[in-house]
Amino acid sequence: MSAYSSIKVSLIDIPDGRLRDVDPDWAECLAGMFLETGQKTPIDVVTSGKRFTLVAGAHRLEAAKRAKWREIEVRVLEPSVEQAADELRLHEILENLGRKDFNALERCEALSELKRIYEVLHPETKNGGKRGNQHTGGQKRQNEVFSFCQNAAETTGLTPRSIQIAVAIFNGLSPETRERLKGTPFAEKQSDLKALADIDAEVQAKVLDLILGELPKARTIADALLILDGRDPETATDRVLRSACDNLSKLPRAGRMVVFKLHRREIVELVRREGWLDE
């Protein structure tokens, strides 16, 4: 159950360990929207003595502070006493997943945390659950979708496979790597995270040294891995050449002839210089 009300901003505390940090630029944008059109969606809080603890809506709360509002619309949640912490954590995750507010790293962390919480709240599903559970499709079905994925997919709109991949990526990143990636462009792309998750923690640290230094020695994770392997990373010209060669081989013969005719002079010069006709 929950109740809606308006409470003083000064009475709301933000707990430590939230999955997503507040983006000051977005909070400033929201503050302008608040002043222009008002608050459209309440934040979620839980009572804590005579004060309140934020569950979801940190950006909206920060926007209210920047707009100099004294009060903000809230929804006061009433979780069960037995598993209150996990229920509130679950609410925070699903609220943000539903709003698509996470970057790639935050989404992977949220889904990993979602799996942990779901198995706490539904211990019967952990490790596949019991055979013959008609509601979930039995043990085989639960194993295929990572025990909790069927429920999570219905809730988040993500496919079971995408949830499984995201959780595997997060588990593959060392705690140090996760922390160093926060706030960097590499936290935005899941492909970058997967490339890091596929290597061991020691190599992850070396890659991050190359791409996150004050004067980065590598532009991409792939380039960093080449450097660690003792090879030179691709230049812009190398990438264009590789792309041209790959695409040329995919063209039908008539298409390749068009390309050759466009570069007839260079081709004739190369043939003469190399002496190919004398062979």
pLDDT value for 97: 65
pLDDT value for 70: 94
CA atoms within 13 A on the CB side of 193: 29
pLDDT value for 136: 40
Mean pLDDT, residues 201-214 taken together: 94
| pLDDT top residue among 213 and 94 | 213
Residue 126 and residue 147 in contact, taking contact as beta carbons nearer than 8 Å: yes
Q: Which residues of 123-150 are buried (b: 16+ CB within 10 A; e: fewer)?
A: eebeebbeeeeeebeebeebeebbbbbb
Domain assignments of the chain as residue spans, ordered by start: 2-78, 83-172, 174-233, 243-278
pLDDT value for 113: 80
Q: Is the pTM of this model over 0.75?
A: no
What CA dihedral angle connects 194, 200, 201 and 207, to 10 degrees? -70
Residues 13-26: tens digit of each pLDDT: 988 877 677 888 87
Which residues, 6+ apart, have CB-to-CB distance to 56 below 8 Å?
Answer: 43, 44, 91, 92, 95, 96
Mean pLDDT, residues 248-254 taken together: 92
Residue 133: pLDDT over 70: no
pLDDT band at 111 (very low <50, low <70, confident <90, very high): confident
pLDDT band at 211 (very low <50, low <70, confident <90, very high): very high
Which architecture does CATH list for 2-78?
Answer: Alpha-Beta Complex (3.90)
pLDDT value for 192: 93
| pLDDT top residue among 41 and 148 | 41
Return the closest-CA partner of residue 90 out of 136, 125, 129, 44. 44
Residue 87, both tokens = 């229920």
Residue 199: pLDDT over 90: yes
Residues 156-181: tens digit of each pLDDT: 666 778 888 988 999 999 999 999 99
**Residue 181 identity (one-letter amino acid):** L
Residues 59-105: tens digit of each pLDDT: 889 999 999 999 999 988 876 655 567 767 776 776 666 555 678 99
pLDDT value for 134: 39
Residue 78 and residue 26 in contact, taking contact as beta carbons nearer than 8 Å: no
| pLDDT top residue among 129 and 195 | 195
d(CA 92, CA 180): 23
Q: Kindly report the backbone phi and psi dihedral angles of residue 83, in degrees, each rounded to the nearest multiple of 5, phi listed first.
A: -130, 45
Mean pLDDT of the chain: 81
